[in-house]
Structure 1
Amino acid sequence: MACACSTLGLSSPRILPRSVPVSPSRSKPLQVRCTVGELVMEPKVSSVDAPLLLKAVNGEKIERPPVWLMRQAGRYMQSYRTLCEKYTSFRERSENLDLVVEISLQPWKVFKPDGVILFSDILTPLSGMNIPFDIVKGKGPIIHNPLREAADVDQVRDFVPEESVPYVGEALRILRAEVNNEAAVLGFVGAPFTLASYVVEGGSSKHFSKIKNLAFSQPKVLHALLAKFADSMARYIGYQADSGAQAVQIFDSWATELSPVDFEEFSLPYLKQIVDQVRQSHPSLPLILYASGSGGLLERFRLTGVDVVSLDWTVDMAEGRRRLGPEVAVQGNVDPGVLFGSKEFITARIMDTVAKAGSHKHILNLGHGIVVGTPEENVAHFFEVAKGIRY
């Protein structure tokens, strides 16, 4: 049976009042009480020493929600900013083995999250697919030769990660050894439509007019590009898993720019293709799907076959759980802006999210990445409160 959780001692099962603070020196864990809810699927069984995050995905009974944060390795940490002063190029930081490992481990050494994610970028595979790009400070991704014709797509090569990004595999192997199963090592890839958006638009976009022009005027050209990305990203996921990743998150950042009917044509089939291909080679590898602003597409996300859907903060967690159904694990979904609030406020929002998510198949996270300027002490408090929860 699933559990609909409420914070201990509260008459309402939903909201933890702001008047219930958590002291950093609190000796007792925060309690979460559960009541019987809907039937859920029989849980898979992980090994006894499996990381907490994997146990949550598999539906095992655990004592607290696992927790990690998107963009947890990055701009809010002083140690990262100091490193950036020496290594000013993002691509250098994300494509140099020693730097990738160091940056990936920075939050692990300070906060001990339950997930340690590879420091990289969803565009990293592009060079290996004959799509030159750069990431320019203040401008973001720049695609030097945008793809807009059938001849352009014909020049796109299949991605062979062993040849193009061997440092990714080596970094994951090092991370597994360093973390030593105390947390799950996470890899990630970009989804086909999101990657296509960058390479067709030539970089970031506000209106996505160029890729929609291609989609609606030359759909066969776009489908050919999406198919290449789907096959290559499925192969990339397998490579990451073989190198040590214990779960992989798929970012379809721009899928929510599509109407539901267009999502069903230009994103959903290719997400399903990735999942199906990975299931054939790595049937037990957990796959997580995230897209910001995805409230209108949740039911369609479920159709992809992923194990976990990561909710952004614009979706109520309890509503999201109902819409996704009990067989899908959920991740999220605290507003990143909450980390600018008081410690009492942060605590209240964490408890509200956990209460609505329940004690079954939930990974605590933000609804998006950490915002630049977030106080590190508030991040520390977020992890401290999360780890102090007991169902």
Structure 2
Amino acid sequence: MMSPTATTAAFLSAAPASSSTTQRRRSRLPVVSASLSPSPSSEEPLLVRAARGEDGLPRPPAWMMRQAGRYMAAYQALAKRHPSFRERSETTDLIVDITLQPWRAFAPDGVILFSDILTPLPAIGVPFDISDSKGPVIQSPVRSEEQVRELVPIDLDMLQFVGESLKILRSEIDGKAALLGFVGAPWTIATYVVEGGMTNTYTNIKSMCHTAPNVLRGLLSHLAEAISDYIIYQVNSGAQCIQIFDSWGGQLPPHVWEQWSKPYIKQIVNKIKIKCPHVPLVLYINGNGGLLERMTDTGVDVIGLDWTVDMADGRRRLGNRISVQGNVDPAFLFSPLPVLTDEIHRVVKSAGPKGHILNLGHGVLVKTPEEAVAHFFDVTRSLRYDTLFQGYVAEELQHVA
């Protein structure tokens, strides 16, 4: 998975590899050639139905951000054999194997592609490397009009490993779970492109809002168009739900996010709703407590809450016409299992019996016990809305303007 995710913290445990040296082996598994875009009227996975806010579901679906890798012994063994993150995330058979590891072990309701938000950058003319100590490194940060003009429309031929992997995964899962794709939001991708890699201060890109606004607008517009096309490609290859990670959007003051991130997310959503109206879109922002009300009119179907937002309060602020995702603190997976059980019940009860995808408030932490991950999904499968909400009368909630 990120990722899945979405942030590039996953890169920090990977050995460096440049795109020129990455070995892209074609999968040994058969590629599905038939169209995989589902019809909205067909029976669809529980997660997709919850994302749409359908009534009458038996329980909340569940998956985890950073679901694959990091904490799993099977992934760590594979990573020793293939120490380059770029190889693992750009080689079809490895992507498939890693993506399926948690599904085979825990049977989550959502299976998310093992990839990263920076994966499409070379396809728009922004090469990057990975340093074992620094994470992603972009040698020529984009900070001028000339550099923006040199960017190219996304070359999807350079991302065939993504499409092939999704087709194979859709066939392997065979309707037993939802297949999720994901992308980074323009602002978040731009932070890497402008800063040249990871940053704790975001000074270059934040200053560009005032010193070179036209350059930044050009970059964000180009990224929005490329990301839109990348989402459509993922959907056409089999993704049934897409999560947009604006991982660093929470680093902006709310009024600045309104100006420099939100319009470009809306640009993406508007295009996807025309081209792929049946596919739910999830928006996750780390540190989004100050942005919830502003996120509702992006047009997405689901808003992910991190663990710093109380689920009941989030529901009140968002209203119940939009679905929510989250938001168990990942640290609860280090607690005694009965404590984790209680927290899952608390979050589900706070979210209500409709339009909720159970997830963590952020990605699975390194060294998380696999027993706890298994327990998380076992508890979720045992839940029944008709028992948890016996006598419950839904209240019509309107999000706070």
Q: TM-score, normalised by structure 2?
A: 0.85
CA contact (8 A) 2:53 2:322 kept: no
The amino acid that maps onto 2:141 is P
Q: Does 1:160 align with 2:173?
A: no
Helix, strand or coil at the partner of 2:327: strand
Which residue pairs with 1:307 in the alignment? 301
Alpha-carbon distance in 2 for matches of 1:139, 1:115: 31
Q: CA RMSD in A?
A: 1.1
Alpha-carbon distance in 1 for matches of 2:320, 2:46: 19
Q: What pairs with 1:338-357 in structure 2 (closer than 5 Å)?
A: 338-357=332-351
Residue 138 of structure 1, CA deviation: 3.3
Helix, strand or coil at the partner of 1:207: coil
The amino acid that maps onto 2:137 is I
Alpha-carbon distance in 1 for matches of 2:112, 2:203: 32
CA contact (8 A) 1:49 1:181 kept: no
Alpha-carbon distance in 2 for matches of 1:372, 1:315: 22
Which residue pairs with 1:378 in the alignment? 372
Alpha-carbon distance in 1 for matches of 2:127, 2:40: 41
Q: Deviations over 1:5-42 (max 9, x none)?
A: xxxxxxxxxxxxxxxxxxxxxxxxxxxxxxxxxxxxxx
Q: What pairs with 1:241-252 in structure 2 (closer than 5 Å)?
A: 241-252=235-246
CA contact (8 A) 1:311 1:367 kept: yes
Alpha-carbon distance in 2 for matches of 1:47, 1:128: 35
Which residue pairs with 1:123 in the alignment? 118
Alpha-carbon distance in 1 for matches of 2:363, 2:133: 18
- Aligned equivalent of 1:102, options 72, 89, 97: 97
Helix, strand or coil at the partner of 1:295: coil
CA contact (8 A) 2:330 2:363 kept: yes
Residue 57 of structure 1, CA deviation: 1.6
Counting strand residues as a fraction of each chain, which structure ranks higher? Answer: 1
Which residue pairs with 2:282 in the alignment? 288
CA contact (8 A) 1:46 1:55 kept: no
Which residue pairs with 1:3 in the alignment? none
Q: What pairs with 1:151-190 in structure 2 (closer than 5 Å)?
A: 151-161=146-156, 163-190=157-184
Structure with the bigger RCO (C-alpha within 8 Å, sep 6+) is 1
Residue 260 of structure 1, CA deviation: 1.4
Helix, strand or coil at the partner of 2:279: coil
Q: Percent identity?
A: 53
Which residue pairs with 2:258 in the alignment? 264
Alpha-carbon distance in 2 for matches of 1:160, 1:384: 41
The amino acid that maps onto 1:118 is L
Residue 257 of structure 1, CA deviation: 1.1
- Aligned equivalent of 1:358, options 342, 349, 352: 352
* Gapped regions of structure 1 (runs ≥ 5): 1-44
Helix, strand or coil at the partner of 2:306: coil
Q: What pairs with 1:48-63 in structure 2 (closer than 5 Å)?
A: 49-60=43-54, 61-63=56-58
Alpha-carbon distance in 1 for matches of 2:137, 2:338: 41
Which residue pairs with 1:81 in the alignment? 76
Alpha-carbon distance in 1 for matches of 2:136, 2:204: 16
Alpha-carbon distance in 2 for matches of 1:138, 1:244: 35
The amino acid that maps onto 2:71 is Y
Alpha-carbon distance in 2 for matches of 1:309, 1:152: 34
CA contact (8 A) 2:50 2:57 kept: yes
Which residue pairs with 2:225 in the alignment? 231
Alpha-carbon distance in 1 for matches of 2:380, 2:149: 49
The amino acid that maps onto 2:330 is P
CA contact (8 A) 1:52 1:183 kept: yes
Helix, strand or coil at the partner of 2:120: helix
Which residue pairs with 2:270 in the alignment? 276
Q: Does 1:149 align with 2:144?
A: yes
Residue 48 of structure 1, CA deviation: 5.8
Helix, strand or coil at the partner of 1:296: coil
The amino acid that maps onto 1:338 is F
Cα 1:157–1:48 change in 2 (3 A) is closer
Q: Does 1:389 align with 2:383?
A: yes
Q: Deviations over 1:204-245 (max 9, x none)?
A: 111100101111111110000000000000111001000000
CA contact (8 A) 1:46 1:58 kept: no
Residue 139 of structure 1, CA deviation: 2.0
Q: Deviations over 1:174-218 (max 9, x none)?
A: 010000011000000010000000010111111100101111111
The amino acid that maps onto 2:294 is R
Alpha-carbon distance in 2 for matches of 1:255, 1:303: 16
Alpha-carbon distance in 1 for matches of 2:348, 2:155: 40
Q: Deviations over 1:120-172 (max 9, x none)?
A: 000001011111102233321111111111111111111132x1101101100
Helix, strand or coil at the partner of 1:256: helix
Alpha-carbon distance in 1 for matches of 2:274, 2:155: 18
Alpha-carbon distance in 1 for matches of 2:321, 2:225: 26
Helix, strand or coil at the partner of 1:365: strand
The amino acid that maps onto 1:219 is P
CA contact (8 A) 1:46 1:54 kept: no
CA contact (8 A) 2:281 2:300 kept: yes
The amino acid that maps onto 1:305 is G
Alpha-carbon distance in 2 for matches of 1:136, 1:285: 36
Which residue pairs with 1:29 in the alignment? none
Alpha-carbon distance in 2 for matches of 1:286, 1:323: 21
The amino acid that maps onto 2:216 is L
Residue 49 of structure 1, CA deviation: 3.0
Residue 46 of structure 1, CA deviation: 5.3
Q: Deviations over 1:69-112 (max 9, x none)?
A: 00011110000000010111101000000000000000010000
Alpha-carbon distance in 2 for matches of 1:224, 1:357: 39
The amino acid that maps onto 1:297 is L
The amino acid that maps onto 2:89 is S
Alpha-carbon distance in 1 for matches of 2:269, 2:131: 32
Residue 47 of structure 1, CA deviation: 4.3
